[in-house]
């Protein structure tokens, strides 16, 4: 699931008719980071509409292969159409990236040369009112990446206690007005639409100096909770490293500080030999570095890309390479 709009590119489809597609956030940086080559194996763990996957398959022609995962069936349909010129070289699976090792077994791959995670929500999902991700249009309080999942945002909004709601909004939205918002939500229940929820929040918190809409952080918190996003990335990162071939690269784009912190801390830990507390006089952890940072600071979108796609402003790309065996 990821942000999919940015600069446009013409892609030739079967029959020679070009189709105008949007490039995903940090497209060129991802292709440069993964260095796709033939006959390598690659994973797009959040394939969305297939933007990064297209670039990977194009660059690793003629024999490179790609495995694409996504929880959203409608995204996979778009990806399948977009990647049609590469038929026979890719496999798409309706599954979470938390199952990355099982999916690799399923296609009988032992390792891969590159993996990309583009975290967060896609423009396609955000722009579809029925999905309930945005307060810009009336939609149900849904917010599920996987439409087959039971838990919806409406369940959290209408069933959690005031304390539980406040805790969720603070933890996942880093919203300073979490208690006031939780109290207002509980007083206004039942709430059934995105616009209703946004109005309740806006009416009950003071006008903020930032340009961020008052409901933004609460909507983020609900989405993260519904989809268990932070727990998913914590599980998936070690699994992704385990299937990388020596010299293979892992690239992760995150869009908010909570995700980026998890990625940064995991990468930093796995790039160090010793992870004992600094005050400990002797090392006894036995930990050995398995990764090395390709870039020490996260890569950000250029001003040009941000102008064309404002959602790219918060994108952070971190890249690591698996160390080769000594």
Q: What is the pLDDT of residues 138-182, one digit of tens each?
A: 999 999 999 999 999 999 999 999 999 999 999 999 999 999 999
Q: What is the predicted pLDDT for the residue at 2?
A: 41
What residues are paired with 298 via a beta bridge?
none
Region 28-34: what's the mean pLDDT?
96
Band of the pLDDT at 122, cuts 50, 70, 90?
confident
Would you call the peptide bond into 150 cis, given omega within 30 degrees of 0 as the criterion? Answer: no
pLDDT of res. 27: 94
Residue 17 pLDDT exceeds 60:
no
The more confident residue out of 159 and 275 is 159
Mean pLDDT of the 235-256 span: 97
- For residues 157 and 154, give the distance between their C-alpha atoms in angstroms, rounded to a whole number: 5
pLDDT of residue 15: 38
Least confident of 42-51, 145-154, 231-240, 273-282: 273-282
Domains of the chain by residue range: 8-124+229-322, 137-227
pLDDT digits (tens, 9 = 90+) for 62-86: 999 999 999 999 999 999 999 999 9
CATH superfamily of 137-227: Putative methyltransferase TM0872, insert domain (1.10.150.170)
Which of the two residues, 20 and 5, has the higher pLDDT score? 20
In degrees and rounded to multiples of 5, residue 72 shows phi and psi of: -100, 110
pLDDT at position 326 over 90: no
Nearest to 171 by CA among 218, 120, 111, 234: 218
Number of H helices and E strands in the chain, helices first, is 13, 9
- Tokens 């160090």, located at residue: 272
Nearest to 119 by CA among 249, 267, 234, 238: 234
Tell me the per-residue pLDDT of 33-51, one tens digit each, with 9 for 90 and over.
999 999 999 999 999 999 9
Mean pLDDT on 238-265: 97
Q: State the average pLDDT for the chain.
A: 90
CATH superfamily of 8-124+229-322: Vaccinia Virus protein VP39 (3.40.50.150)
CB-based contacts of 289: which residues, under 8 Å, 6+ apart?
270, 271, 272, 273, 323
pTM over 0.85: yes
Task: Tell me how crowded residue 194 is: count the other CB atoms within 10 A of its CB.
Answer: 26
Contacts of 256 (CB under 8 A, 6+ apart): 120, 220, 314
Q: How far apart are CA 175 and CA 256, in angstroms?
A: 13
What confidence score (pLDDT) does residue 317 get?
Answer: 97
Q: Which secondary-structure segment (H or E) carries 91?
A: strand 90-94
Confidence of residue 1 (pLDDT cuts 50, 70, 90): very low
* pLDDT value, residue 8: 43
In the prediction, which pLDDT does 252 show?
98
């Amino acid at each position: 699931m990821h942000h999919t709009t940015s600069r446009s590119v013409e892609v030739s489809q079967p029959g020679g008719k070009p189709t105008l597609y949007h490039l995903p956030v940090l497209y060129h940086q991802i292709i440069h980071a993964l260095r796709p080559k033939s006959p390598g194996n690659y994973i797009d763990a959040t394939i969305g509409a297939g933007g990064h996957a297209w670039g990977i398959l194009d660059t690793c022609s003629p024999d490179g292969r790609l495995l694409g995962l996504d929880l959203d069936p409608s995204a996979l349909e778009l990806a399948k159409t977009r990647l049609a010129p590469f038929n026979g070289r890719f496999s798409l699976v309706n599954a979470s990236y938390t199952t990355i090792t099982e999916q690799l077994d399923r296609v009988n791959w032992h390792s891969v040369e590159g993996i990309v995670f583009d975290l967060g929500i896609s423009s396609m999902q955000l722009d579809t009112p029925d999905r309930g991700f945005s307060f810009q249009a009336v939609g149900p309080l849904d917010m599920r990446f996987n439409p087959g999942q039971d838990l919806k945002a409406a369940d959290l909004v209408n069933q959690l206690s005031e304390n539980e709601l406040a805790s969720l909004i603070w933890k996942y939205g880093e919203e300073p007005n979490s208690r006031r918002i939780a109290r207002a939500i509980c007083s206004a229940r039942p709430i059934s639409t995105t616009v209703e929820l946004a109005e309740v929040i806006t009416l009950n918190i003071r006008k903020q100096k930032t340009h961020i809409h008052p409901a933004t952080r609460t909507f983020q918190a609900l989405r993260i909770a519904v989809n268990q996003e932070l727990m998913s990335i914590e599980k998936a990162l070690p699994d992704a490293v385990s299937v990388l071939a020596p010299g293979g690269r892992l690239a992760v784009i995150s869009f908010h500080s909570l995700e980026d912190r998890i990625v940064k801390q995991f990468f930093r830990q796995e790039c160090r030999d010793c992870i004992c507390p600094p005050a400990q006089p002797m090392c006894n952890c036995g930990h050995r570095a398995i990764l090395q940072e390709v870039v020490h600071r996260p890569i950000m979108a250029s001003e040009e890309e941000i102008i064309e796609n404002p959602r790219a402003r918060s994108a952070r790309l971190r890249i690591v390479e698996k160390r080769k065996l000594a």
